[in-house]
Amino acid sequence: MDDKPTSPAPLPPDLASLALAITEHAPLPMATVEGATHLVRYCNPAFCHLMGKPLAQLVGKPLDELLPAQDACMTLIERVLRTSRPESYIEQDPTKPHPVFWSYTIWPVKEDKGLVGIMIQVTETAEVHGKTVAMNQALILGSVRQHELTEAAESLNEQLRAEIAERKKVEEALREADQALKEADRRKDEFMATLAHELRNPLAPIKNLLDVAAHANGSTTVIKDARLRIQRQIAKMVQLVDDLMDISRINSGKIVLRKSRADVRVVLDDVLDGTRAVTEYFGRNIIVNLPEEPVYLNADPVRLGQIIGNLINNACKYTDPNGTVAITVQREGDSALIRVADTGIGIAPDMLPHIFEMFTQIDYSLERTRGGLGLGLAIVKQLVELHGGTVRVASAGLGQGTEFIVRLPLAAADLPATATPETPDITKAGFALKIVVADDNVDSADSMAMLLQLDGHDVRAAYDGRDAIEVAEKFRPDVMLLDIGMPRLNGYDTAREIRKTEWGRETILIALTGWGLEKNKREALAAGFNHHLVKPVDIDEIRRLFSSIAPASARRLATHT
């Protein structure tokens, strides 16, 4: 078998015109180049359109002047002339502003006598390339868009995860709030039950002692003992109410400290005098360790005494009979330390963080031999912090005793010291006042009138606001003690009516009421009251108040008699 290519048979004359017609109407650009000279001998209309020139400007021109790929195309032509084999080539046109690719197909043209020329087919692939580029760009944009969508989806997922996490936090916070509300509700119920218990405790002996006094058959000893015991029980009730009021004032930010240069030793002596009955009643051994030099604080003496007194009472309450309560005052740097240690029941470790919380009780037993509302230590902590100090507790555990350590800043040397006021005795001063007591609680009005009469005053009782004005208009008192919540005319309106009269302009009006908030005091003063006292009031406090107004009133007494 001979692999040598054979020459094609010559075309019949009738096919020559057919071949020309095919070439002329071919959609592909075609041109015939003369061998050695590379001159264009023929080109079809598609080639003219590709070159952008008419046929006359192309025929007879060297091919290397027409095509952009000069050297490469000429090299291919020479190779086809040499080998008589077709060649193909593709390259980009650098002269175009947009991507244009040229595709060449070159093949030899032969007749009987051999190779007579070369046929060149040229294709501009700008449109195809453009589509390809557009497709690639679309793919790239699609990829970018997919990336953006992926990022957006990831961002959305992250947001969803954050929202889910936040929702879990909210749900957890709601659960905690729900638990806190349940705990608060439980503690409220316990507190109300404890409050009722603590109020009934002193009421029971008061009632019993009143019955004892009624059946004493005039025995002075029995009546005196009953009176002392009743006073002690009433003091407990007053302390309960005072603690509740103090907590309310502190939590609402309405407590006012009247600071001065106070010696801790003096304040402690006063506290010990006041708590002596408690310590003797509980049967505790009290040890006091004081420095020789004064320890001055910039403090409210009354509130400082309340801090120390609450700690001593707490120590006595939780220490068994014959136990020891040690109070130590010392300097440490620029601070004063007040330590109250006891040998009592101690505190369990899990209770230490909660010991200063309101309504916290160490003794949860049914017997509740310790008593109290669980407010004393909460008041101590907040009062100490209002003074710029700190308080902490230490206990080795149950049965190991407890120690409270209060740290307060020492006072500057130039602050004035507080003088201890003396309690005046109005009965010794010899003044007698004309007084009207008005209260819708008949027993309260009558009992106060009886006390004041025992001090030598001339007293009238009234049981509502209108009655008080009518009595006063005839009696022309120096002082009027008015309850606020009275029928027919409340205490505020009663005071306003009295101030409108000529005789009532100089009358001393004292609000004697169970309403003890600061706003109640402001309302009383605005209505025309001179003073505001909170029930139950100690008779000595009324005596001190009367002593300050007695001289002016005594001068007026001369005109009344």
What CATH number is associated with residue 87? 3.30.450.20
Q: How far apart, in whole angstroms, are the C-alpha atoms of residue 358 and residue 356?
A: 7
* End position of a domain, from candidates 75, 98, 124: 124
Is the pLDDT at 425 greater than 80? The verdict is no
Categorize the per-residue pLDDT at 423 as very low, low, confident or very high, splitting at 50, 70 and 90: very low
Q: How far apart, in whole angstroms, are the C-alpha atoms of residue 443 and residue 445?
A: 6
Considering the domain architecture, whether residues 69 and 35 belong to the same structural domain is answered as yes
Helix (H) or strand (E) holding 286: strand 285-289
Residue 512 confidence (pLDDT): 87
Considering the domain architecture, whether residues 398 and 438 belong to the same structural domain is answered as no
pTM, entire model? 0.47
- CATH number at 467 reads 3.40.50.2300
Categorize the per-residue pLDDT at 136 as very low, low, confident or very high, splitting at 50, 70 and 90: low
Considering the domain architecture, whether residues 383 and 432 belong to the same structural domain is answered as no
Question: Which of 31-35, 286-290, 538-542 shows the lowest per-residue confidence on average (mean pLDDT)?
Answer: 31-35
Considering the domain architecture, whether residues 199 and 270 belong to the same structural domain is answered as no
With respect to residue 155, please indicate whether it lies within any of the assigned structural domains: yes
Residue 379 confidence (pLDDT): 83
Categorize the per-residue pLDDT at 341 as very low, low, confident or very high, splitting at 50, 70 and 90: very high
Specify the residue for token string 């040397």.
413
Q: How far apart, in whole angstroms, are the C-alpha atoms of residue 93 and residue 99?
A: 7
Residue 342 confidence (pLDDT): 92
Asked if 324 and 284 touch (Cβ cutoff 8 Å), the reply is yes
More confidently predicted of 525 and 68: 525
Considering the domain architecture, whether residues 30 and 58 belong to the same structural domain is answered as yes
For the chain, the domain total comes to 4
Count the residues in the chain. 561
Question: CB within 8 A of 90, min separation 6: which ones?
Answer: 101, 102, 103, 104, 125
Categorize the per-residue pLDDT at 470 as very low, low, confident or very high, splitting at 50, 70 and 90: very high
Q: How many CA atoms lie within 13 A of 42 on its CB side?
A: 11
Is the pLDDT at 433 greater than 70? The verdict is yes
Using left for φ > 0, alpha for ψ between -120 and 50, and beta otherwise, residue 223 falls in alpha
Categorize the per-residue pLDDT at 459 as very low, low, confident or very high, splitting at 50, 70 and 90: very high
With respect to residue 522, please indicate whether it lies within any of the assigned structural domains: yes
φ, ψ of residue 535 to 5 degrees: the values are -70, 155
With respect to residue 417, please indicate whether it lies within any of the assigned structural domains: no
Categorize the per-residue pLDDT at 315 as very low, low, confident or very high, splitting at 50, 70 and 90: confident
Residue 369 confidence (pLDDT): 44
Asked if 482 and 495 touch (Cβ cutoff 8 Å), the reply is yes
Q: pLDDT tens digit string along 437-448?
A: 998 888 888 888
Burial class for 300, CB neighbours closer than 10 Å (0-12, 13-18, 19+)? buried
Q: β-strand 434-438 against 479-482: which pairing, if any?
A: parallel
Question: Which of 100-114, 156-170, 292-306, 475-489 shows the lowest per-residue confidence on average (mean pLDDT)?
Answer: 100-114
Considering the domain architecture, whether residues 262 and 405 belong to the same structural domain is answered as yes
* End position of a domain, from candidates 198, 220, 235: 235
One-letter amino acid for residue 42 of the chain: Y
Categorize the per-residue pLDDT at 365 as very low, low, confident or very high, splitting at 50, 70 and 90: very low
Dig out the tokens for 269 from the structure: 């002596």
Question: Which of 57-66, 100-109, 164-173, 312-321 shows the lowest per-residue confidence on average (mean pLDDT)?
Answer: 100-109
With respect to residue 131, please indicate whether it lies within any of the assigned structural domains: no
DSSP assignment of 2-71 equals --SPPPPPPPPHHHHHHHHHHHHH-SS-EEEE-TTT-BEEEE-HHHHHHHTS-GGGTTTSBGGGT-S-HH
Considering the domain architecture, whether residues 289 and 397 belong to the same structural domain is answered as yes
Considering the domain architecture, whether residues 488 and 405 belong to the same structural domain is answered as no
Q: pLDDT tens digit string along 209-232?
A: 787 778 777 778 888 888 887 877
pLDDT over 70 for what percent of the chain?
A: 73
Residue 500 confidence (pLDDT): 93
Burial class for 384, CB neighbours closer than 10 Å (0-12, 13-18, 19+)? buried
Considering the domain architecture, whether residues 94 and 154 belong to the same structural domain is answered as no
Over range 233-237, report the average pLDDT: 74
Q: How far apart, in whole angstroms, are the C-alpha atoms of residue 125 and residue 164?
A: 56
Is the pLDDT at 346 greater than 60? The verdict is yes
Over range 322-329, report the average pLDDT: 90
Is the pLDDT at 419 greater than 60? The verdict is no
Considering the domain architecture, whether residues 172 and 306 belong to the same structural domain is answered as no
Q: How far apart, in whole angstroms, are the C-alpha atoms of residue 189 and residue 131?
A: 83
Q: State the chain's mean pLDDT as an integer.
A: 78
Is the pLDDT at 404 greater than 90? The verdict is yes
Question: DSSP letter at 419?
Answer: P
Considering the domain architecture, whether residues 270 and 373 belong to the same structural domain is answered as yes
Residue 555 confidence (pLDDT): 43
Bridge partners, residue 229, by sequence: none
Residue 252 confidence (pLDDT): 62
With respect to residue 218, please indicate whether it lies within any of the assigned structural domains: yes
* End position of a domain, from candidates 361, 378, 409: 409
Is the pLDDT at 116 greater than 60? The verdict is no
Residue 482 confidence (pLDDT): 93
With respect to residue 252, please indicate whether it lies within any of the assigned structural domains: no
Residue 437 confidence (pLDDT): 93
- CATH number at 354 reads 3.30.565.10
Is the pLDDT at 390 greater than 70? The verdict is yes
Residue 525 confidence (pLDDT): 92
Is the pLDDT at 415 greater than 50? The verdict is no
Query: Using only C-alpha atoms, what is the Rg of the chain?
Result: 56
Interhelix angle 376-386/220-251, nearest 10 degrees: 50
Residue 431 confidence (pLDDT): 72
Question: DSSP letter at 346?
Answer: -
With respect to residue 476, please indicate whether it lies within any of the assigned structural domains: yes
First to last CA, the chain: 167
Considering the domain architecture, whether residues 388 and 443 belong to the same structural domain is answered as no
Q: How far apart, in whole angstroms, are the C-alpha atoms of residue 364 and residue 350?
A: 14
With respect to residue 482, please indicate whether it lies within any of the assigned structural domains: yes
Domain range holding 441? 426-560
Q: How far apart, in whole angstroms, are the C-alpha atoms of residue 446 and residue 438?
A: 9
Q: pLDDT tens digit string along 184-193?
A: 777 677 667 6
One-letter amino acid for residue 193 of the chain: A
DSSP assignment of 447-497 equals HHHHHHHHTT-EEEEESSHHHHHHHHHHH--SEEEE-SS-SSS-HHHHHHH
Question: DSSP letter at 344?
Answer: S
More confidently predicted of 27 and 523: 523
More confidently predicted of 343 and 249: 343
One-letter amino acid for residue 167 of the chain: R
